[in-house]
Structures are given as C-alpha cells and as structure tokens.
Amino acid sequence: MLSWAVSNFILGKPQPKPDKVLPLFSFLERVILVIHDVDALTDATWGCSCLTDIDGSLPIFQNELFLEKIIQQLSSYNASLQISSLQTLGSISSDLDF
C-alpha cells in the first residue's frame, strides 16, 4: 500500500519537483529488492518508471541488483508486473549512450 502511495505521489499533478521525488527511489528500490508481494512490486516498479522520466535521474538506476531484479520480473506470471518492468527498463535503456 505504501509503494502505491509513493508511486502516485511521483505521478502527481502538478508533477512534484525532482528534488522531492528522486530521494524516494531508495524506498522503491528496497521494496523491489526485498518484498515478494506482486502488487507492491508492481506499484514500486511503476514508481521507478515514472522516475526515469525526470531529467538527470539515470545515475540512480545503476545498482546491478536492482536492474537484475527488474529483468527477472519480466518473467513474472503477472502481466502488470511484466509491463511495468518492461517500461522501466525501456526508459532506462533509452537514456543510455552506447
């Protein structure tokens, strides 16, 4: 439930200032790495997807364990978790310079 509230805060209208929402990544990352509840994981992953839209946010997504977990979520039985994971990875990879 808390991951849902945090994700909706990040998505808020008007959009909150980056300095207010970027620190929330550490909470969302912890949910993704530790929690096994599919709904909480989905909400946290959507929140991360929203954070990827903020200019300059790419460095916060450099944790290999976090990225590995998002990739693992692609094989979930839950379509919403798959979609949020794919959206997050797509947004992160589109900001990378190859």
pLDDT tens per residue across span 67-77: 999 999 999 99
Give the global pTM.
Answer: 0.88
Higher pLDDT, 57 or 74: 74
- The residue-averaged pLDDT of 49-72 equals 90
CA angle 41, 25, 51 (to 5 degrees): 90
Give the pair of three-digit tokens for residue 13. 């209208």
- pLDDT in the model for residue 53: 83
Domain boundaries, the chain: 2-94
Give the pair of three-digit tokens for residue 88. 């997050």
Determine contact, residues 76/37, Cβ cutoff 8 Å. Answer: no
Ramachandran assignment for 92, one of left (phi > 0), alpha (psi -120 to 50 degrees), beta (any other): alpha
CA angle 45, 24, 36 (to 5 degrees): 40
The residues near 85 (Cβ < 8 Å, ≥ 6 apart) are 45, 70, 71, 73, 74, 76
Give the pair of three-digit tokens for residue 35. 């929690």
